[in-house]
Amino acid sequence: MKVLDDDVVALAKERGIDALVYAPHFTRLATVRGRAARYADDDLTIVPAREVFTGDWGNRRHLLVLGLEEPVPDYITFEAAMAEFERQNAVALVPHPGFATISLTRPEIAAHGERLAAVETYNTKLLPHQNARARRIAEVTDMPGFGSSYAHLPGTVGEAWTEFPGDLDDADAVVDAFREAGPRTVVHRGGARHQLRGLVEFAHLGYENTWEKLDRLFLSGDEPTLPTNVAYEGRFNDVSVYSGALSDYRPK
């Protein structure tokens, strides 16, 4: 999920979801944790996570990371990000493999398979042929799969999910289930309503990736998940792919 509020929680419970992975874009880990704690209860586990953007804007490689103990910024090199995840014993998943210029490709997944826990094989936001490609990538690289709503809009929660056998009692248990690469089943809803929900999410992708939105996110070089932000204490300055504010690099 990229969104989390009372409506999301209510719909998740209505649809029988036991746990949500909450990973909003451009949001510091401490903020994600605080919001997850606010909405979690005995009936719904919420796992705080980060979808980290590695590389520069034109050649991003997204990684969905669970189990982080310390913050990791966006827009650092792929290798630096992976090294930091390994140092923290975090779990790195591959969302929307092979999609546009924002995802790991099949050769990249094959090359880094031992460092990755799973590849997304169903994403509500994507079109059928794109999900079919993701399944082929997982099969060819012999990687475990996972499915997700990948919801940027509240109504998409519970459109797709990953089922694990047994009880996963808390967020740590969910993270461990992915880390241990155990058996799981990827499930999604069907029918015209599900297809329409996916198309609405896909249309939202165009808005999400406009430079107009970036102008609101990256104005000064001190935004929450840029490596230059004071919160990272300069630890990632030498692996940053930008030397200043991202807005300095917008297309002319």
What's the pLDDT score for residue 208? 64
The residue count of the chain comes to 252
Domain count of the fold of the chain:
2
Amino acid at 40: A
Which domain range does residue 231 map to?
Answer: 212-249
Taking the C-alpha atoms of residue 238 and residue 217, their distance in angstroms, rounded to an integer, is 22
Asked whether the whole model's pTM tops 0.75, one would answer: yes
Q: Are residues 187 and 216 in the same domain?
A: no
Tokens representing 222 are: 């001190």
Residue 179 and residue 143 share a domain: yes
Same domain for 195 and 223, yes or no, is: no
User: pLDDT tens digits, residue range 3-21?
Assistant: 999 999 999 999 999 999 9
pLDDT of residue 149: 94
In contact, 131 and 121? CB cutoff 8 Å: yes
**Strand ranges (E), 78-164:** 91-94, 118-123, 145-148, 160-163
CB contact at 8 A, 247 and 215: yes
Question: Is 1 within the bounds of a domain?
Answer: no
Residue 57: the pLDDT is 80
* pLDDT 10s digits, 101-142: 889 999 999 999 999 999 999 999 999 999 999 999 999 999
Residue 119 in contact with residue 98, Cβ under 8 Å? no
Which candidate, 64, 73, 68, places its Cα nearest to that of 97? 64
Give the pLDDT score at 248: 53
Neighbouring residues of 5: CB distance < 8 A, sequence distance ≥ 6: 39, 154
Residue ranges of the chain whose pLDDT lies below 70: 206-222, 244-252
